[in-house]
Amino acid sequence: MIKHYQSFEEIDERLKLLKLQRQIDIERLKLNLNTAKSKIYPTKLVHSARFFIQEAILTFLIKKLSILSRGRSRPRLLN
């Protein structure tokens, strides 16, 4: 849709508004970029990987212990 302006003042006002919106968008982009950089920083990646490995090991151990405890609770049949 084409906007029709009645005066140069309206055009100037619209241009100022668009310039401010562009500056806001640039600052928002910078913020998002810095946030993304901080999330993929190597120490954070190492911490996340370490947490994932610990969780996997604990899950594995809990499953093994539950299997062992079920095996001991079964009554043995007499021969």
Write out pLDDT tens, residues 37-75.
Answer: 887 777 766 777 778 888 889 888 888 888 777 766 555
pLDDT one-digit tens code per residue, 5-32: 999 999 999 999 999 999 999 999 999 9
Cβ partners under 8 Å of residue 9, min gap 6:
none
Query: Contact, 14 vs 5, CB < 8 A?
Result: yes
The structure's pTM equals 0.49
Cβ partners under 8 Å of residue 14, min gap 6:
3, 5
Q: State residue 75 phi and psi, 5-degree precision.
A: -70, 140
For residues 28 and 22, give the distance between their C-alpha atoms in angstroms, rounded to a whole number.
10
